[in-house]
Amino acid sequence: MKVLVTGGAGYIGSHVVKLLGKLGHEILVYDNLSTGNRWAVKYGKLVVGDLADKKLLRSVFEEFKPDAVMHFAAYIVVPESVKKPLKYWRNNVANTLNLLEVMREFGTDLFIFSSSAAVYGIPESVPVDEEAPLKPINPYGETKATVERLLSDLARSGSGFRYVSLRYFNVAGADPEGEIGFAYPNPTHLIIRAVKTAKGEYEKLYIYGTDYPTPDGTCIRDYIHVWDLARAHADALSYLTRGGESEVFNCGYGRGYSVREVVDAVKRITGVDFPVEEAPRREGDPPALVAKAQKIKEVLGWEPRYDSLETIIKSAWDWERKFSQNQRL
């Protein structure tokens, strides 16, 4: 398959690009490098461009003629989305609309969307399945839910367009071969922030909110290894190629860990007893998000290989010890 990957120089996108390349697909990465890195693109060609630039996007489609598109080029920081909603709506929705319009112009019908568990907001029951109502509680989640509704409308339009939307829970870890990993400034994800604190990049780790209605008062999340997530994208591509109908899948392991449990695990695995300080809640954080993840296994045949909090943390820690921002960026 010829696959156009938007945002393919970023954290998740670069892992997917590497796996697709190893599987023999022909890749073109389209990325503005706002958070991505040239060196992270291990397969295919990189075109530096923004999805707001429809002229460039059209020229890429005309030359490359992709069979499918995987779309990762979104802003993802929940607290920032609360403070800068226009930035998130412009990029996450308007630019996705640009991409879809160009796909229709050139007859590219297969689309895999990088969505999020943030579309559920505060679910009525946990674990949450794909049939739960979409009730996002922050602008980031709203943008993802809006695009999902757009995709559903397009799939029902009779145009031949088909898609898979993958709702990520909390993604962490790094390439098992150590070639790529998380590599942009000011991370907000807990595991990444914690291993960087253990490494000494930050003086202390903050726990945002200790009064949630959970057993230890801190947020509970379902963590998934980035390489298992990459495999889910490859499986979704195979599914659509075989003629599969448009679908939505949760991407998680179906187990939740509290912030305190993750912090304790990071300290144990790294051997570093770094300082931790409690802080007020952040806007837009639900108390608990855990996936019901049977559907993706049953329909796509997806089988996780790194289903362990310890494995996720260890791979993230191994990458952090190897990675030098000054040398690589």
Residue at 73 is within a domain: yes
Q: Is residue 181 one of the residues assigned to a domain?
A: no
Q: For residue 180, tell me if it sits in a domain.
A: no
Asked if residue 293 and residue 228 are part of one domain, the reply reads: no
Question: Sign of the CA dihedral 248, 251, 255, 256?
Answer: negative
pLDDT for residue 71: 98
- Residue 177 placed within a domain: no
Domain that holds residue 294: 190-221+254-328
Q: Is 147 contained in some domain? A: yes
> Do 167 and 31 fall within a single domain?
yes
pLDDT at 286: 87
Is 154 found in the same domain as 100? yes
Residue 322 inside a domain? The answer is: yes
Same domain, 32 and 167: yes
H runs (alpha helix) in the chain? 11-22, 54-64, 78-83, 85-88, 95-106, 139-155, 190-199, 226-241, 259-270, 294-300, 309-322, 325-328
For 270-290, b/e burial (b = at least 16 CB within 10 A) is: beeebebeeeeeeebbbbbbb
Position 203 in a domain? yes
Active site amino acids: 140
Same domain, 134 and 208: no
Q: How far apart are CA 296 and CA 166, in angstroms?
A: 9
Q: Is 217 found in the same domain as 273?
A: yes
**Cβ(103)–Cβ(69) below 8 Å:** yes
**139/209 same-domain check:** no
- Cα separations in angstroms, 147 against 8, 37, 85, 98, 264: 19, 26, 15, 12, 37
Q: Are residues 102 and 231 in the same domain?
A: yes
Report if residue 93 sits inside a domain. Answer: yes
Q: How many domains does the chain have?
A: 2
Q: Do residues 212 and 239 both lie within one domain?
A: no
CATH number at residue 21: 3.40.50.720
- Is residue 168 within 8 A of residue 224, CB to CB? The reply is yes
Q: Which of 251, 271, 298 is the last residue of a domain?
A: 251
At 328 the pLDDT is: 47
Are 117 and 78 in contact, with CB atoms under 8 Å apart?
Answer: no
301: left (phi over 0), alpha (psi -120 to 50) or beta: left
Domain boundary among 236, 251, 266: 251
Answer yes or no: do 138 and 13 share one domain: yes
Q: What is the residue-level pLDDT of the chain in tens, covering all 329 positions?
A: 999 999 999 999 999 999 999 999 999 999 999 999 999 999 999 999 999 999 999 999 999 999 999 999 999 998 899 999 999 999 999 999 999 999 999 999 999 999 999 999 999 999 999 999 999 999 999 999 999 999 999 999 999 999 999 999 999 999 999 999 999 888 889 999 999 999 999 999 999 999 999 999 999 999 999 999 999 999 999 999 999 999 999 999 999 999 999 999 999 999 999 999 999 998 778 899 999 999 999 999 999 999 999 999 999 999 999 985 444 44
231 and 265 co-located in one domain: no
Q: 129 and 194: one domain?
A: no
* Distance separating alpha carbons of residues 124 and 132, to the nearest angstrom: 8
286: preceding bond cis by omega (within 30 degrees): no
DSSP string, 155-204: HTTTS--EEEEEEE-EEE---TTSS----SSS--SHHHHHHHHHHTSSS-
